[in-house]
Structure 1
Amino acid sequence: MPSTAAESLADHFVHLKVEDIPQNHLDDAKALVRDYLGVALGGSQTGSAEAATRFVLATGGTAESTLIGHGARVPAIHAAFTNAISSHSIELDDVDILALFHFSPPVVSAALAVAEREKSSGQDFVAAVVAGCEMMARASEATNFSLRDRGYHTTPVCGVFGATIAAARLLKLDVEQTVSALGLAGAQASGLMEMYGPSMQKRFNPGPAARNGVTAALMAQAGFTGTASIFDGERGFCRTFSDRHDIGALTRDLGKTFPIHIEYKAYSCARPIHNAIDCALDIRRQLTEPLSAARSITMRRHPAWAHYHLNTRPKTYHEAQVSLPYSVAVALIEGAAFFPQYQNSKLADPEIRRLSDMVEVVADETLPRGVSCLMTLRTEGGAELSSQIDHPKGSIANPMTPEEMNRKVHLLGDPVIGEGAVSDMIRAVDRIESLSGIGEVLRTTIPTRQAA
């Protein structure tokens, strides 16, 4: 009988059959992969992704897995690393229901890289994505909000375990090897919230998580052993990363419930800002005076997020994407907050700055959800317009339609590989369970010039 959390988790994930996974989670995994590919294509054109690509191409190695949006084939660990950075470089990747982490950069990046290396079937790949997401969600449930509040970034810290499980399933590790892989993942768990600012640092964080997850699984396959007490030991993951942990959450109802709740982004910025953008867009529709008449903007936020994202004068678009005042201002002015609204050329716009400086953030514990926002805009003419958003566009309670999801993928992918290729990619993902190899999907992500 398993005696540690890692042993219980390994036993669960090794023996989990596709037919044991509820259909809604298999469908969610396909939607996640489709969204991920669009976001990774868009992100592949950014400076952060280009730097990661230069690094892995210079490093060299066996051609195993594809760099999305580029076409080069590199070792699986390097593909996982670079694709994870690409998919996190434009702030449009998925998010969990509490806005604590992103599933796909670590998990899907690792799964795609290993699936292509191993020539895994589409069905095995989808099951690995579900398993990786479940592992990541359980690691977060066991340690948050304390982990976040101590300054750790949940996406890489918990994501390395999800990436490891996804890779371990595709490598067909046994229980003992999977326990070792989880131990080796814990040895590599890292990532700090000291990442906001003008640098690319935030974009980097999922890269090592995806790479390290693949490394942990490959090392375990090679015979390198890891500790079984990585989660519940005296100096294990839970006690080290969290002051208020629930080790039982790692294994509670294993095989009975899958605590995977995936939401999607309609706006190109940090998820807890999305509610504020929805408020701004709602108020924009209510306005009968020009925006020049705005005299004050108050944004009431739940205390869980009230002290984050407060920079009123971002110096780069990286900073703008984690700035609530900037996001509110640009949404009010342009009626949108997609990637074109977050460009360095806009940061000095005098009207954006005027409205951004006007935003006052107030903590309000009466708001019902951690990401809830209540915005009030007052005008020179005496109008007082308010909007409260508890569930942003793209959330489970306020979902994007399938048409909106596909349009997002096209907006991001068409400029990189062309409209026809994006349509082919979407169709391939829709029938992914029937594919004999995941390479059919990845071939659609190669720009025509590289494919030729």
Structure 2
Amino acid sequence: MMPPTDTLTKRLASFVVGTEWNVLPQEVVERARRCLLDWIGSAYMGKGSPTDRMMEPLVRRHGAGRVATLIGCGFSAYPMEAALYNGMISAVLEIDDVHEETSLHGGIGVIPAALAVAESVGASGRELILSIVIGYDISVRVARAAGSSHYQFWHTSGTCNTFGAAAAAGKLLRLDEEQMVMALGLAGTQAAGLWEGLNAKATTAKHLHSGKAASNGILSAFLAKQGFRGAEKILEGEKGFFPATARPTPEDLQRMTENWGRPFLIMRNFFKRYACCRACFEGIEGLGRLMDEQRLRPGDMEEIRVTMKPGRTWLVGNLNPFDIYEAKFSLPFCMALMAIRGEAGVSAFREENLLDPAIRDLMGRIKLLSDPEIAAKARLEVVLKDGTRWALEPHCRSLTLEEVEEKFLQNLSPLLGKKGAEAIIRAVNKVDQMEALGELTHLLKRRPRGETR
């Protein structure tokens, strides 16, 4: 039993400081390596996007020539600037990993912070992997306690990832328990990210959330190392994170600090196969399977109804996406894309498909409904023009570790060449054997083919 004077923040800090490499099962190490690889792929695929084109010149002007790698840029920056940039570009194409229970995207907030600080302190590969595992755990535990009341307004990949990024950075900086409490306290007062960023053609604002989480997490750890003080009860204090942004139950708060490492929560991460919001997956996959099994054509369908919980319906309910980035949060578009093009990967999200009359026509026949009591992630009801009706509740599985590697090769080979992509895979696969990270980060500085900036 914890003494009553212990705060939630102190318990989290104790876990971060007290968790060492020798307690990580091999399956956790392997999972973390795949999370790192998947994140690198997500970051590289964000190259050339509007977010990249706006951010790289900014970072080059204000922080170039330092120690932390900017993915695919050919130069380095200060750790906070590198984490900001890398965290933003890895969010762009929506192919990064996500935690199933919380909808939190841990990789885009935690890994940019961990990599930047690891480079700045000369950490080993094992120290990097350990910090990633710990960072994911802290992010997920905070997000799980914050729950749906928080997610209604706040993007956990911005808010809760700030705690995970601070934990990862603080572990690499070897903060003691008191300093780690301060780092988490400072992270909490900077945690932000509002869902209004999905409205009014502002999807690039969403990319900022993960970048700021990573950068602010590093700042929190650096300040704590210097003696800066944060709130000791930042989570549960009267004016703290939970009272301000969520309505956790006593059971939620208790669960937040239970069962450390049983399992490590990175093991429950979901690797994406489609380049869009995770909430679209059941609709995409369910419709695709039904069309294949019943040999249906888009023209056979009179109406498609998709029922989900209200929060999910809102998240992917854009009926008229402005650009391909908004289209990633449009379930009607994503389902129509699968029905007509037979795919919903990175290459399928392009302007010509967004404007395709056949896709737009089918989008108009897809209706989204909300049911707060539904147990499944989604229920599909397909009505054919001949009156035939089909109903299903699809289940989508995560990519396996082997499929993550295949995804990386497929997406990165056109940018870096097959040999370049394979070199990164080999380096990631042995990262925990590296005394220093230069062998890996040297590869990550390489610009994609055709880039001349």
Shorter-chain TM range is: over 0.9
Structure 1 counterpart of 2:275: 268
Q: What is the RMSD computed on CA atoms of the aligned residues?
A: 2.0
Query: How far off is 1:374 after superposition?
Result: 2.3
Structure 1 counterpart of 2:18: 15
Inter-partner Cα distance in structure 2 for 1:161 and 1:80: 14
Inter-partner Cα distance in structure 2 for 1:321 and 1:65: 30
The answer to whether residue 230 in structure 2 is matched with residue 226 in structure 1 is: yes
Inter-partner Cα distance in structure 1 for 2:391 and 2:217: 45
CA displacement, residues 79-103 of structure 1 (integer Å, 9 cap, x when unaligned): 1000001110000010011352101
> Quick check: 1:147–1:243 contact (8 Å CA) kept in 2?
yes
> Quick check: 2:63–2:81 contact (8 Å CA) kept in 1?
no
2:382 to 350, 372, 377: 377
> Quick check: 1:99–1:271 contact (8 Å CA) kept in 2?
no
Which is further off, 276-285 or 252-261? Answer: 252-261
The answer to whether residue 164 in structure 2 is matched with residue 162 in structure 1 is: yes
CA displacement, residues 410-448 of structure 1 (integer Å, 9 cap, x when unaligned): 222223222111101111111111011122212212326
Query: How far off is 1:5 after superposition?
Result: 1.6
Structure 2 counterpart of 1:281: 288
Inter-partner Cα distance in structure 2 for 1:363 and 1:256: 35
Query: How far off is 1:303 after superposition?
Result: 4.2
Inter-partner Cα distance in structure 1 for 2:248 and 2:188: 18
Structure 2 counterpart of 1:201: 205
Query: How far off is 1:123 after superposition?
Result: 0.5
Query: How far off is 1:257 after superposition?
Result: 4.6
Structure 2 counterpart of 1:124: 127
Structure 2 counterpart of 1:71: 74
Inter-partner Cα distance in structure 1 for 2:330 and 2:110: 27
Structure 2 counterpart of 1:388: 393
Structure 1 counterpart of 2:264: 258
Structure 1 residues 239 and 104, CA gap change in structure 2 (3 angstroms): same
Structure 2 counterpart of 1:171: 173
Query: How far off is 1:227 after superposition?
Result: 1.9
Structure 1: segments with no counterpart, 5+ residues: 395-399
Inter-partner Cα distance in structure 2 for 1:233 and 1:365: 30
Inter-partner Cα distance in structure 1 for 2:432 and 2:117: 17
Matched to 1:41, the amino acid is Y
Structure 2 counterpart of 1:41: 44
Inter-partner Cα distance in structure 2 for 1:212 and 1:366: 37
Structure 2 counterpart of 1:312: 319
Higher relative helix content: 2
Structure 2 counterpart of 1:397: none
Q: How does 1:57-68 map to 2 (within 5 A)?
A: 57-60=60-63, 63-68=66-71
Matched to 1:209, the amino acid is A
Structure 2 counterpart of 1:141: 144
Query: How far off is 1:233 after superposition?
Result: 1.1
Structure 2 counterpart of 1:368: 375
1:187 to 186, 189, 214: 189
CA displacement, residues 212-235 of structure 1 (integer Å, 9 cap, x when unaligned): 000111111122121211112111
> Secondary structure of 1:49's match?
helix
CA displacement, residues 182-226 of structure 1 (integer Å, 9 cap, x when unaligned): 111111011101121423121121111000000111111122121
CA displacement, residues 301-354 of structure 1 (integer Å, 9 cap, x when unaligned): 244523331122111111100000000001100110012221223222111111
> Quick check: 2:186–2:230 contact (8 Å CA) kept in 1?
yes
Q: How does 1:429-440 map to 2 (within 5 A)?
A: 429-440=428-439
Inter-partner Cα distance in structure 1 for 2:277 and 2:439: 32
Structure 2: segments with no counterpart, 5+ residues: none
> Quick check: 1:231–1:247 contact (8 Å CA) kept in 2?
no
> Quick check: 1:374–1:387 contact (8 Å CA) kept in 2?
yes
Q: How does 1:211-360 map to 2 (within 5 A)?
A: 211-245=215-249, 246-254=252-260, 257-260=263-266, 261-360=268-367
Inter-partner Cα distance in structure 2 for 1:9 and 1:146: 22
Output the TM-score relative to the length of structure 2: 0.92
Inter-partner Cα distance in structure 2 for 1:384 and 1:229: 54
Which is further off, 321-330 or 2-11? Answer: 2-11
> Quick check: 1:39–1:412 contact (8 Å CA) kept in 2?
no
Inter-partner Cα distance in structure 1 for 2:65 and 2:231: 30
> Secondary structure of 2:435's match?
coil
Query: How far off is 1:392 after superposition?
Result: 1.4
Aligned length: 442
Structure 1 residues 431 and 360, CA gap change in structure 2 (3 angstroms): same
Inter-partner Cα distance in structure 2 for 1:250 and 1:300: 31
Inter-partner Cα distance in structure 1 for 2:350 and 2:40: 22
Inter-partner Cα distance in structure 2 for 1:135 and 1:392: 26
Inter-partner Cα distance in structure 2 for 1:92 and 1:116: 25
Matched to 1:363, the amino acid is S
Structure 1 residues 402 and 429, CA gap change in structure 2 (3 angstroms): same
> Secondary structure of 1:128's match?
helix
Q: Percentage identity across aligned positions? A: 29
CA displacement, residues 242-289 of structure 1 (integer Å, 9 cap, x when unaligned): 123433233223455534420011001110111111012112203435
Which is further off, 192-201 or 105-114? Answer: 192-201
> Secondary structure of 1:100's match?
coil
Structure 2 counterpart of 1:414: 413
